[in-house]
Structure 1
């Protein structure tokens, strides 16, 4: 459930600076293919773009998380929230 809605007690608003071509391309590829193996790479791209939000970065890097289409981070990067 957390993969889809995130933490409702700590909502995240994306900074437009995070939405680089690399971030949006990675998010789009994962959304289209339903292959979320690039989540740690997305975290790196977000961090390179200035994202320091621990909820976002930790979600992307959580090796135990099961990511699905509708993932709140991917949807947020694509403006589908």
Structure 2
């Protein structure tokens, strides 16, 4: 997402996070929400920094 700046897969990220056991509504709602996502998205940063 960061390289291509294409955040259209955010709902898919939400599904993957949920499948992995994430139950935080703030994260899942943000990924599935209608807003425009940009580089520096706090959820993507959180995922990348957890690795």
Common fold: TM-score over 0.5: yes
Between the aligned partners of 1:44 and 1:76, the Cα distance in structure 2 is 16
| Higher-Rg member (1/2) | 1
- How many residues are aligned here? 50
Please point out which of 7, 21, 37 is paired with 1:50: 21
Q: How much is the aligned-residue C-alpha RMSD, in angstroms?
A: 1.2
Task: State the TM-score, normalized to the length of structure 2.
Answer: 0.93
Q: TM-score, normalised by structure 1?
A: 0.59
Q: List 4+ stretches of structure 1 deviating above 2 A.
A: none
Unaligned runs of 5+ in 2: none
- Mapped to 2, the partners of 1:45 and 1:52 lie a distance apart of 11
Which structure is higher in RCO with an 8 Å CA cutoff and minimum separation 6?
1
Residues 10-32 of structure 1: CA deviation (Å, up to 9, x unaligned)? xxxxxxxxxxxxxxxxxxxx111
Aligned-partner SS, 2:40: coil
Does 2:33 align with 1:70? no
Alignment of structure 1 residues 2-81 onto 2, 5 Å? 30-63=1-34, 65-79=35-49
